[in-house]
Structure 1
Amino acid sequence: MSTFVTPLQFSTVQPNLYRGSYPREINLPFIETLNLKNVISLTPKAIDSESDGSLTNFCNANNINLIHIQAGKVKVPKDKSKKADKPKVKRKQKAVPIEYDTVIQCIRVLIDKNNYPCYIHGATDNDMITSLIVACLRKLSFWSNIAIINEYLTYNSSINIHERNFIENFNSEITIDNTKLKDKVPWIHMQSITNTNKTLPKLVFEQQ
């Protein structure tokens, strides 16, 4: 009998949309059972055969499209010979590691029902960026801010003022030029297309 090991923090966001930690080799047999079409990697650098041969080979063998959306900073090796000039930034003071453009890039992939099943992950086992993306997606389903924050805290031990503001202030008007309205995933609320509330995001489809 095969033993399946799910990625850390694995869960279903919506039908056929999954989130979790960076997939390790031990997770790949389980990932295969999801019959994915796409994996969205929210990482500083694109994943390739040099950086992660097991994941790229797995995706190639299973006809899975590995989509890279740049997110987070590339880590630079520290020079231990030099003392740090700046004090370490406390968790509650840290800025959000992504821009709204990153969220919009994800939405343009995830809005199309033909791109599913799909798995979305960040660069680490406990990745804040994935949580921020999912939180913004929830606004397209008209979740309340309280419900969104509660879900966020399920995957993160805390939320600082910058993260809360990033989620609550996500109100971009997003032009969708790569997907027809009829191919929209059902969990996107129609009010996200028709709403006139300037405090909420709005989708504008160029193709009907």
Structure 2
Amino acid sequence: MLTPPEQFGIVEPGLYRSDTLHPSHFPFIRSLNLKTAILLTPELPSRAMSNFFEENQIRLIDLALGSWKNNSNSNSNNNTDATGSGAGGQGAGGDSSTSGTGGGAGGGGGSGANMFTLTTPSIPAAPFQTSWWKPLSEELIKEGLEMILDVNNYPIMVMDTSGIHEIGTFMGCLRRLQHWNLSSIIVEYRAYAGNKARYVNEQFIELFDIDWITLPASLPIWWIEQETMWREEEEERELQLEQEREAEAHRRQEDLNQLTIRPSNVTTSS
């Protein structure tokens, strides 16, 4: 029997969201034929989850851990890393083109060609939470969105511990990039969050600068189709507005012409 995670969802074809995985979820996740999994929380995955990704040759990328580690390394008073992460180079869990050179976590030195290593991309040094109201850093969102818009990473799943807060914010920013209106974005966010919804997450989504995102060269089919449809709709709206402006200008010109040629009814008295 296939048991999906509690907060599992299909975002777009080949793009999934989920909370943390447990062994009972593995058969279902295996059926998705994932190529890449992204973690948004600065916590090492469980041994069972790491083994599952290794056995199924799924590249595991912990964006938040990379951001947290970079921020920790930039602090002169940083303590010894308590996560037990290795000090290896580029993770060997994916192919040789894997971006990011963060330390391999949970996999030792990462020297063995077949050894699974958690990949932590090199995100510009910034706190995991840059201020009290930001659930994620902008750098992490940018890095993650560019990854899930690269068709070479598909099929792909994005996870956090609860499946609600970080991932809800992340997907809200994706919806902004897809030209969704804010009301629809908030409805989707609250559908997963329920009574755990946070206003700061919704505020972050609204204020996130989507112009900061650099689109990859190879985009998913669903993105290309949606962008084409959106551009066609924008062109239709522009054409309609132009026609309305021309009609209004024509009406005004007719009114002016009627005022100009209207005979005078003024009579003079002797």
With normalisation by structure 1, the TM-score equals 0.70
Change (3 A) 1:73 1:167: same
Q: Which sections of structure 1, spanning at least 5 residues, go unmatched? A: 77-93, 195-208
How far the C-alpha of 1:111 sits from its partner, in A, is 1.0
2:39 is matched with 41
**RMSD of aligned residue pairs (Cα, Å):** 2.5
Residues in 1 aligned to 2:190 and 2:10: alpha-carbon distance in whole angstroms: 16
Aligned counterparts, 1:71-90, within 5 A: none
Higher helix share: 2
Q: Which residue of 2 aligns with 1:88?
A: none
Alignment partner of 1:60 is 2:98? no
Contact 1:46 1:70 (C-alpha < 8 Å) held by counterparts: no
CA distance in 2, matches of 1:41, 1:26: 19
Report the structure number with the largest CA radius of gyration: 2
How far 1:45 sits from its partner (Å)? Answer: 2.8
* Residue pairs, 1:47-196, within 5 angstroms: 47=45, 52-70=46-64, 95-124=133-162, 126-158=163-195, 159-174=197-212, 176=214, 179-180=216-217, 183-188=218-223, 190=227
1:67-110: per-residue Cα shift (whole Å, max 9, x none)? Answer: 11117989x9xxxxxxxxxxxxxxxxx73321222211111211
Contact 2:36–2:59, Cα closer than 8 Å, also in 1: yes
Q: Could you tell me whether the CA contact under 8 Å between 1:141 and 1:187 is conserved in 2?
A: no
Q: 2-side partners of 1:161 and 1:21: how far apart?
A: 20
Q: 2:142–2:213: 8 Å Cα contact kept in structure 1?
A: no
Letter of the 2:62 partner, please give it.
Answer: H
TM-score by length of 2: 0.55
For residues 31 and 144 of structure 2, the distance between their equivalents in structure 1, rounded to whole angstroms, comes to 23
Mapped partners of 2:54, 2:191: distance in 1: 33
Structure of greater relative contact order (alpha carbons < 8 Å, 6+ residues apart) = 1
Superposed displacement of residue 169, structure 1: 1.1
Verify the 8 A CA contact 1:9 1:20 in the aligned structure 2: yes
